[in-house]
Structure 1
Amino acid sequence: MVVKTSKPYQQNSNVQVLDTKVATISLSSMLVVITLMTCFMLAGCDKKQDAVKAKGQMPPMPVGVITLQPTSVPISAEAVAQTEGAKEVEIRPRVGGILLKKLFEEGSAIKAGQAMFLIDPVPFQIALSSAKAQLAQQKARVEQTQREAQRLQGLLATQSISQREADNAASDNALARAGLAQYEASVREDELNLSYTTVISPLSGVAGRFEFSEGALVNANTSLLTKVSQISPIWVRFSLSDSELTQVGGYLSLANVKEVRLILPNGEEYAKKGQLNFAASGIDPTLGTQQLRATFENADKRLLPGQFVRVRVITGQKDGVFVVPQTAVMTNDQGKFVYVANSKNEATIKPIVAGNWVGKDWVVLSGLEAGDKVIVDNIIKLRPGAAVSPHPAGEPSAPVSPAPNQSAK
C-alpha cells in the first residue's frame, strides 16, 4: 500500500526548520544592533560629559599684585580741624555818629593803618574849634596873671603893697597855668576824637562782612562794623582723644611733635608743613580730648578762616611695616584680611592687623610677610582657592588660556 501523504508532511517540517533558523538569525542580528547602539550611546554620553566639564572649567582670573617689602612709615594720628586767623580783631568805632562812607571792599585784603570807615566829622571839628578857643583864652589869662604877679613883686620890694597881695597874684598865675594845661588836654582829646572819625584797621589781613549800611547811626565802642582776620600765618585748631593720643605715644607737647601736615577737603595734602604752637596741659573733662593748635604759612591765601580740614600729627617713625592699597583690604566678621597669590597661583586669605592710613594706603602691622603677593584688583570676583594669573599692578595682564582638561581620557 502506498502512503501519499508523506511528501506534504516532509515539506511542512522543512518549512518549520527554515522559519526557526530565520527567527534565530533575526534575533541575533537585533542583539548585535542593540549592542552597537548601546556602545555608540555610551560613547556619546562620555563625550558630552567631557565637553560639559571642559566647558565648565574657567581660565585663571587675571589679577594685579604688589610684592611686599618692609618699609618705614610715620607715627601719626589724624583729626578733623578748623582754620582760624592768627589774629582776629573786631572793628568798632571809638566815637559815635553817622556812618558816612565805607572805604573798603568786603572780603578784600586790608593793610595795617588802612582807612575803612568815615564817621561824620563835623561835630568833632566844632568841638575842636571850641576847645582851641578856650585854650587861647586861657593863654591870655596866664600872660595877664604873670604880668600882674611880676608887677606886684616890684611893689613888694619897695613895701608899697602887703605880702598878702603879692602872694594872691602869684597864686592867680599858678591857677591860670593849671587851667592852661587842662585846656591843652581838651584840645588834644578833641583832636583825637576827630581822628577817630576815620576808622582804620590795626592789622593786615582780610576784611569781613560789613554789618551796617552807610548812613546808619553807630555808637562808640559797641557797634560792630566788621572783622579783620590775619590769615598768613593761619592757625588750625583740633583735638585728639585718649585712644588717638595712644597711637602717637601719649599726650602731645611742642617738644614731641615733629611736624603737622594739613589735608585739604579735596584730599590733597597742603604744600606747607606746620608746627604745633599750642598744646593744652590737660584733658578736657567734658570732651575727653586734648586741645591743640598748629600754625601754617598761608602767603597765597589758599586757606580761609572757618574752613574744615584734616590734620596729621607726626611724632616719629615706625620701621619694618607694610603698606597696601585701601582697595586691597577687605573686612568680614573676623576683621580685616587681604587676598594673596600663593606659589600655586591660587588666591588665599590672610588676616591682617591694620594701623593708620598713610595717604591712600593701609599700614599693616602684622599678618603679612616680605615677598607676599597681595592681590589689589578683581577682588570681588575671587574666592579662596580660585586659580589666578598674577601680574604686576598697573601693568596690562597677559592673555591666559583655559586650564587643561583633567578628565579627558
Structure 2
Amino acid sequence: MLVNPRLSVALALLGPFLLAACGQPQQQQAAPPPPTVTVAKPQIRTITDYDEYVGRFVAIDHVFVNARISGYLEKISFTDGQMVKEGDLLFTLDQRPYKIALDQAQANLTVAKANLDFATTDLERARTLIEDKTSNAISKQAFDQRTQTQRTAAATVQAQEAAVAQAKLDLQFTELRAPVTGRIGDRRVSVGNYVLGGTGASPTLLAVIVSQDPIYFEFTFDEASLLRYKRLMQGADVSGAPVELKLIDDKGWPNKGKMDFLNNVVDRETGTIRGRAIFDNKSDLFRPGMFGRVRLASSAPYQALTVPDTAIGSEQLQKFVYVVGPENAIQIHPVVLGPLDGDRRVIKSGLKADDVVVVNGLMRVRPGVKVTPQEEKPPAPAPGPAEASAGSGATTVK
C-alpha cells in the first residue's frame, strides 16, 4: 500500500502534541457563587385585629313632601338639589279659594256671636221675671226654652270658631315648608298642575328631602362576630363602640364614627344582625345610597411577629417563609398567617423572633441552597403626626 509522503510528515510533527494533550487531565468548570438574598428578622408590633364590613349610607331623615290640602300649584321657591333648612318655603298653592273660605267662616262666627248675645240677654230678662214671685209674666217652660236657646247659641259660636281655625289652617297649608334640614331632590310637578292633598291613597308627591349631617351607615355581621364583640366589651352594649370608615378611593381609614344602633333580633334565615354607625358629614362628602367599608376592633391589642407580606411563599394551601439556617443554608418554615397590618403580615405560629427571614429574592432559592444574606435596609423615618396614616391595625375582611 502506498502512503502519501506529505501525510506521514504531518503526523510525525503533530504526534508529540497529541500525546501531551491526551496526558493532561481536563480542567473542571468553576461553580457559581451563592445567590444573594435580602434578609431581615421579624418585627414585633402591637396589633389590634379588625373585622371589615361593606355597607351603605342611609339618611337619618327621609321625608316625602306632600300637600295636606288640594289645589293648583302656583309657585316653586327652591332650586332642584339645593340644601334647604327647616321652615324654608318650598311650594305655594293657589290661596284664593281658602281665603274666601276663611272670610265666610269669620262671617258665620260673627253671626253666631250676635245670636249668642241676644240669647244671653233674653235669658237674663226671663230670669229676672221668673225670680219675681209676685208676677206670673213668664212660665217655667218659657224660661227653660230660653235657656236652651242660649246654650245652643253658645255651642254654635264654638263650632264657628273651630271652622275659622280650620280655614286658617287650610290657608296656612297652601304654603308647603321644609319639615327638616337637608338636601331636596328635583321637583315632581310643575306650576299649574293640580295637586291632590290629604292622607288618601295617592296624594301627589311634590319632592323628597333627605338629611345630610349627620348620616347613618348600615351593615350586617354574623352572630359569631356579635358574640366576639360582646365578650371583648365585657358584656357592655355594642352601641357606642368606635368604628372607622373608608370610601373606595381612601387610603387608610380617615373617617371616625361610632356604633349607633344594633337590631334587637338576629335574622333567622341569614344568621346575621343589622348594625348601624353614625358619622359626621359636615363636608357633605357622604350621600345616602353610597357604599363604603367600616371596620370594628375584634381583639384587644397584643404583641405579634410580623414580616413583609412579600416574604410569604405559597405551595397549594400551605404558606411558608424561607429562613437562613446554619452555614447560610435555606430552610423552609410552614407558618400560620394572621391578618395584614399595612404592608406586613402577622405570623401567628411557625416563626421565632430571632429567625432570619428571606424577604427579597425568593425565586432564587430552594431548601438546602446556600446563600449570601444581606441585611434589609432600615425603613424610612416614621411620618410626623400631620403625615401619619389615619388608620392602622390588622384587618380581617368579612
TM over 0.5: yes
Cα displacement (A) at 1:127: 1.5
Deviations 1:202-234 (A, max 9, x none): 222222333333333222243232222223221
Q: Which residue of 2 aligns with 1:391?
A: 376
Match runs of 1:300-339 below 5 Å? 300-339=283-322
Cα displacement (A) at 1:248: 5.0
1:381 & 1:128 partners in 2: Cα distance?
93
Q: Which residue of 2 aligns with 1:142?
A: 116
- Alignment match of 1:112 (pick from 66, 86, 91): 86
| Contact 2:232 2:298 survives alignment (8 Å) | no
- SS at 1:211's partner residue? coil
Q: Which residue of 2 aligns with 1:190?
A: 167
1:103 aligns with 2:77: yes
| Contact 1:245 1:251 survives alignment (8 Å) | no
Cα displacement (A) at 1:378: 5.1
Cα displacement (A) at 1:380: 5.4
1:137 & 1:187 partners in 2: Cα distance?
13
Q: Which residue of 2 aligns with 1:86?
A: 60
- Alignment match of 2:152 (pick from 156, 159, 175): 175
What is the identity, as a one-letter code, of the residue corresponding to 2:254? Answer: A
- SS at 1:285's partner residue? coil
Cα displacement (A) at 1:340: 4.3
Q: Which residue of 2 aligns with 1:3?
A: none
* Structure 1 range deviating more: 355-364 or 274-283: 355-364
In the alignment, structure 1 segments of 5+ residues that lack a partner are 1-23, 396-409
Q: Which residue of 2 aligns with 1:255?
A: 237
| Contact 1:321 1:363 survives alignment (8 Å) | yes
Q: Which residue of 1 aligns with 2:387?
A: none
What is the identity, as a one-letter code, of the residue corresponding to 1:136? Answer: T
Over aligned residues, Cα RMSD in angstroms? 3.3
Cα displacement (A) at 1:93: 1.5
| Contact 2:230 2:236 survives alignment (8 Å) | no
In the alignment, structure 2 segments of 5+ residues that lack a partner are 1-7, 381-398
Using a 3 Å threshold, how does the CA distance of structure 1 residues 342 and 130 change in structure 2: closer, same or farther? farther
| Contact 1:77 1:245 survives alignment (8 Å) | no
TM-score (norm 2): 0.78
TM-score (norm 1): 0.77
What is the identity, as a one-letter code, of the residue corresponding to 2:154? Answer: R
Q: Which residue of 2 aligns with 1:278?
A: 261
Cα displacement (A) at 1:182: 0.7
1:347 & 1:98 partners in 2: Cα distance?
86
- Alignment match of 1:233 (pick from 192, 211, 214): 214
| Contact 1:86 1:230 survives alignment (8 Å) | yes
| Contact 1:339 1:348 survives alignment (8 Å) | yes
| Contact 2:324 2:331 survives alignment (8 Å) | yes
Cα displacement (A) at 1:150: 2.2
Greater helix proportion: 1
* Structure 1 range deviating more: 331-340 or 109-118: 331-340
Q: Which residue of 2 aligns with 1:34?
A: 18
- Alignment match of 1:350 (pick from 313, 333, 337): 333
2:183 & 2:343 partners in 1: Cα distance?
35
- Larger CA Rg, structure 1 vs 2: 1
Cα displacement (A) at 1:357: 3.3
- SS at 1:214's partner residue? coil
Deviations 1:5-43 (A, max 9, x none): xxxxxxxxxxxxxxxxxxx9998755313224546xx68
| Contact 2:238 2:262 survives alignment (8 Å) | no
State, as a whole percentage, how many aligned pairs show the same letter.
Answer: 27
Cα displacement (A) at 1:174: 1.1
Using a 3 Å threshold, how does the CA distance of structure 1 residues 333 and 172 change in structure 2: closer, same or farther? same
Cα displacement (A) at 1:84: 0.8
- Alignment match of 1:289 (pick from 248, 262, 272): 272
- Report the count of equivalent residues: 363
Cα displacement (A) at 1:111: 1.4
What is the identity, as a one-letter code, of the residue corresponding to 2:94? Answer: D
Cα displacement (A) at 1:308: 0.7
